[in-house]
Structure 1
């Protein structure tokens, strides 16, 4: 199979605005984007392993990648002597050890997806119900990690959009540290760079390189609308009441607003 021809595609960091481009993906499904990626020769590029899954059904987001790279801490947490210290363990850990990306929340913009590579760190919930909600309040539309998330009952109750490889129990101190942000990382077999488009729905996750995102969005839109029209005919034949999944007019209004 020949390699995708990207010679004439715009380079990352060009005039393409990923925060505008992501809006063209909002109505489409991950499956539509996978079809579009195949159509331009990007077979299996950007497909994230199915081991990394949404924590609850019905989750959907499209956003701009903000990347975090983590590694095992390589130093243990010391014994804490008071209940107050146990409660404040994270603050004590960061004060003593430092944190290369302590202020990353302040860099988040509305529309970001925080993609976290845990660097093979095992059995630690880097994301939990409180810090994930903090990212969302800063504007993040999704959080993706190839590690664990804890407090998953609360995450589900809050409908915080977290995708993780597993469910965890333990906390950051003594286990994991962030060393870099906004750098290329690998997650679930896919490369993710700052500014790439990251999408999620019940089918899984996909990463669209920003160089081809506009082209992919155009094709995915056509795939979605063709499927909706075919399915609405099936609804009519079966006497089924229309629902949002066959609301062609809503999708057309979405794109008309973007292009008007």
Structure 2
């Protein structure tokens, strides 16, 4: 067993991700800095949430793609055009075909498109399959299409750009659950991936427990200071300064074992 596999098995990333749920990405970044992991896990700001208010913490499920090196052939019937993806995958194969059966509640599908940025691998329909399987987010260093519907659905997708075109003849899925690079950060199966308005961070699973502990303290300290300023300014308290709710969340989580 590799060191990563042993560490992942020891901490159970699907359990440890729960300790990140109340946290801001900034809290995790502060904690990473604090343990000497400067700039590690920071994903380029070129990759942005497609809609305002998106937030998730999840366990990385990785998907590696490459540009297609064969063109799509002419389709003769309307039926085939409608089913173009099925036609393409039927002949070319699809390394991601089993992905829907492997995604667990709490997974984030992180997709490296290998430079194939002129195609929306993720769109409004196939992304819902990830959510249906229990996934909490999708990240890609490529494009998303059907963007208006994705925003309307509030499907949690982070992408580099918007696009119009489809998969056949443009991109191939070649491998899942392997180490990839995305936005300047390394992502491995089992790493913790976080997203909010500030951007994305990847927390290596080896230090995830420690990062969560320190990040919680950073968050609570900030909430206490901000709540004091709220009161001094006559501002109405909101959930972002509700220290008691955060304390209760962690107490309940600890009680669950």
Query: Residues of 2 paired with 1:14 and 1:129: CA distance?
Result: 33
Aligned residue for 1:226? 221
1:251 matched to 2:226: no
Aligned residue for 1:31? 26
1:44 matched to 2:66: no
Query: Residues of 1 paired with 2:223 and 2:55: CA distance?
Result: 18
Q: Contact 1:108–1:140 at 8 Å: present in 2 too?
A: yes
1:129 matched to 2:129: no
1:208 matched to 2:203: yes
Q: Contact 1:10–1:211 at 8 Å: present in 2 too?
A: no
Please show how residues 152-163 of structure 1 align to structure 2 within 5 Å: 152-163=147-158
Query: Residues of 2 paired with 1:243 and 1:153: CA distance?
Result: 30
User: Which of 169, 173, 190 does residue 195 from structure 1 map onto?
Assistant: 190
Aligned residue for 2:74? 79
Q: Contact 1:9–1:212 at 8 Å: present in 2 too?
A: no
Aligned residue for 2:51? 56
Q: Contact 1:33–1:217 at 8 Å: present in 2 too?
A: yes
**DSSP 3-state at the match of 2:169:** coil
Aligned residue for 1:241? 236
**Change in 2 beyond 3 A, CA 1:220/1:149:** same
**Contiguous gaps of at least 5 residues in structure 1:** 1-7
Query: Residues of 2 paired with 1:11 and 1:36: CA distance?
Result: 23
Aligned residue for 2:96? 101
Between the two proteins, the alignment pairs up a number of residues equal to 253
By how many angstroms is 1:9 displaced?
Answer: 10
**DSSP 3-state at the match of 1:207:** strand
Normalised by the length of structure 1, the TM-score is 0.95
**Change in 2 beyond 3 A, CA 1:57/1:181:** same
**Contiguous gaps of at least 5 residues in structure 2:** none
1:171 matched to 2:148: no
Aligned residue for 1:138? 133
1:19 matched to 2:14: yes
By how many angstroms is 1:80 displaced?
Answer: 1.0
User: Post-superposition, which runs of at least 4 consecutive aligned residues in structure 1 deviate over 2 A?
Assistant: 8-14
